[in-house]
Amino acid sequence: MSRNLPTSVARIDEDIAALAAITEPGRPYTRRAFTPIFLEGRAWLARRFEAAGLTVHIDAAGNLIGRRAGLKPDLGTIMLGSHSDTVPEGGRYDGIAGVSAALEVARALSDLNIALEHDLEIIDFLAEEVSIFGVSCVGSRGISGTRPSAWLARESDGIALSQAIETVGGKVAQDAIRSDIAAFLELHIEQGPVLENEALDIGVVTAIAGITRIEIIVEGRADHAGTTPMGSRKDALSAAARIALAVEAEASDLAKSDYHFAATVGEFRMEPNAANVVPSQVTMLIDARAERRADMEDFLARLSAKVAAVATETGVTVAAPRVLSDNMPTPGDADVLTVLEAACEATDARFRRMASGAGHDTAWMARITKAAMIFVPCVGGRSHTPDESATPQDIALGAAVLLEAVQRLDKDLQEKK
């Protein structure tokens, strides 16, 4: 569909192409946080922010921020953005689309000679992806006051995270927590196939799924694979396979509702892992994600019951599933979701409500402000791969939705104070 947009497809295309070219040699598209190539990308972004008329600085948490002053700065800040760091070999659009779209909102406001009442900030969060220190969302956790202090001592190649934050321009001794942010919006590629399959332009994200990781250890008995009768075995792998199939079945059942649910056996280790030995132990790690907390609790109950049943049926020993980490779902702010839907209608963007099965910086920003996000389509639903792709036209339309939403929030936030 041809649209006359207030946002520039060409400028967005230039942003993304330039950052894509800043990558580790032979590893497109790789700019992991804290690496020299990441800093090179950051420097390019800072120049791009400045060219758009923004005042640029690195905050105490290590985030790159471009600020456009409003007419009434006492009202607080409307913030837009995402991240420019990547997973290894797979970050041409993941995060980058959101930073470029946010920057394009600032450029379009200047093109249109629109002055906001609120300050506007464009942010490139530090280390949204899992970093070399084994932790993620470092910048958004810093702003929201949810970065564990113990993280600062984590090391990689003899360097502590605290030192790495200083290296990118942050100040770990200073308080990074923000109390002035009136609203936060993030655009992201969907990382799934729904929008493309339904020929829609925008996903209005109702919630970011909670993520629970569960460990199950199955204890069998090692025996000779050739001499032990089939009916006399305690095969840990056979029992674990039944549990893995139960994970798939229960998750598929819960996913039949209108709410997002998914579960995956993502790690699977077997001992002694020898061709002529009956497996004695299997350790499995389950990644489960739910838009509604009630669904996660239901899944955990079903899983515990299935594990007990498998242990009884097979004679192996299986401890109760152990929850290793458990993050609650983060709903989008109801008022901001309403504004985003109105912005979609105003820009003739075809949209639907949907949940995010992936984590995002928005989940942490929601701890301190009214926050929500939108998705734009990505080709084939592919993400975290060099094949990840989205069109500048789709991102420009998403930026136009953000532009409309920012102007509406600029008025609505004042009226509701």
> What tokens does 46 get?
């800072």
- The 8 Å CB, 24+ separation contacts for 366-369 are 366/184, 366/208, 366/330, 366/331, 366/332, 366/333, 367/144, 367/145, 367/146, 368/143, 368/144, 368/145, 368/177, 368/178, 368/179, 368/181, 369/79, 369/181, 369/182, 369/183, 369/184
Which residue ranges make up the annotated binding site?
A: 83, 94, 129, 188, 213, 276, 289, 384
User: Which of 148, 154, 113, 110 lies closest to 132, judged by CA?
Assistant: 154
Position 187 scores a pLDDT of: 98
- Residue 416: pLDDT over 80: no
Query: How far is the C-alpha of 122 from the C-alpha of 397, rounded, in Å?
Result: 18
Domain positions in the chain are 9-208+329-415, 210-326
Res. 9: pLDDT tops 90: yes
Tell me whether domains 9-208+329-415 and 210-326 share a fold: no
pLDDT in tens, 299-309: 999 999 999 99
Residue with tokens 């980058």: 96
186-192: average pLDDT: 98
pLDDT in tens, 348-371: 999 999 999 999 999 999 999 999
CATH superfamily of 9-208+329-415: Zn peptidases (3.40.630.10)
Residue 15 neighbours by CB under 8 Å, 6+ apart: 48, 96, 99, 100, 103, 104
Q: For 9-36, b where at least 16 C-beta lie within 10 A, e where not — what string?
A: bebbbebbeebbebbbeeeebbbbbbbe
210-326 folds as Alpha-Beta Plaits (3.30.70)
Q: For position 415, what pLDDT does the model report?
A: 85
The answer, yes or no, to whether residue 381 has pLDDT greater than 60, is yes
- How many beta carbons lie within 10 A of that of residue 285, not counting itself? 15
Average pLDDT over all residues of the chain: 97
Annotated binding-site residues for allantoate read 213, 276, 289
What does the block give as tokens for 85?
């760091």
**pLDDT tens-digit map of 67-81:** 999 999 999 999 999
The per-residue pLDDT for 243 is 98
Give the residue among 63, 73, 34 at the shortest CA–CA distance from 123.
63
Res 77: pLDDT:
98
Q: Where are the alpha helices (DSSP H) in 270-376?
A: 293-314, 334-346, 362-365
State the pLDDT confidence band at 1, using cuts at 50, 70 and 90: low
2 confidence band (pLDDT: 50, 70, 90): low
Q: Which residues define the annotated binding site for Zn(2+)? A: 83, 94, 129, 188, 384
